[in-house]
Structures are given as C-alpha cells and as structure tokens.
Structure 1
Amino acid sequence: MRLTVKSAGRRVEIRISGDSPGLLAAAEASAQRLLDALPPETGRPPFGYAVSSETERAENEDDES
C-alpha cells in the first residue's frame, strides 16, 4: 500500500506492506511528522554560493585599518 501526504507543494510518500488499521495509522502519523519536518516552501529555487581559501578579497583603499 502507498500513502501520499501533500501540503503546500510538498509531498511525502510512504510504502507499507499490509493493510491493518494500526499499520495505516502509524504510517500516516510518520508521514505527517516527515511533512512537518520539511522546511517551508519558498516558491523559488534556492540560491547560494561558496567561498574557498582560494578566493581573494579586494582591498578597500578607503579602509584605514
């Protein structure tokens, strides 16, 4: 059996073997906890950059320190 929980553009899918009410309730609770643990949807793709030790910093001529 496959259980899918969706909310605000996020989706959690759990597959279980069996169909007992207790197993279904446990899978549903797990799916809800996973969905709650996901970060909120921002509506735009994440943007980032990395700086390494090879990156040079420009010296500021106005800086007197």
Structure 2
Amino acid sequence: MRSANEDLLNMVAQGMLRSWYITWDRCCSDRHPPVRRAALMAKAGGLVHHDRVLNREVRHG
C-alpha cells in the first residue's frame, strides 16, 4: 500500500509532466528556433522528472 507521501509525489510528478507537455504543445510550432528548443527541453525535463519520481517509488515502495 502506498503512503500519502508517495501519492503526493506521484501527483506532483503528473502535474509537472502535464504542464511541460502543455508548454510543448503551445510552443512547438513557433517560428523562432530558441522557443521551440526551450519547449522541447521542458518536455524532456518533464519526462525525466516523472521517471525519477516513479523509480524512487518502485525502489522505496
């Protein structure tokens, strides 16, 4: 059974992933390469952070 702390971490990770994907969706077709690059970095960062949280849960769960 998961603890309240693990549930909170999972919800935070999901929220961050969602917000980074929204950033990507809004900026992926921008005309300026630096904006698209920053949006892609945000999307990748969201995936990495989410995976780290989930891996921490698996190891400590």
Q: Which has the higher contact order (CA 8 A, sep 6+)?
A: 2
Question: When you count helix as a share of all residues, which structure comes out higher?
Answer: 2
Task: Place the TM-score, normalised by the shorter chain, in its bin.
Answer: 0.3 to 0.5
TM-score of the superposed pair, with normalisation by structure 2: 0.38
TM-score of the superposed pair, with normalisation by structure 1: 0.36
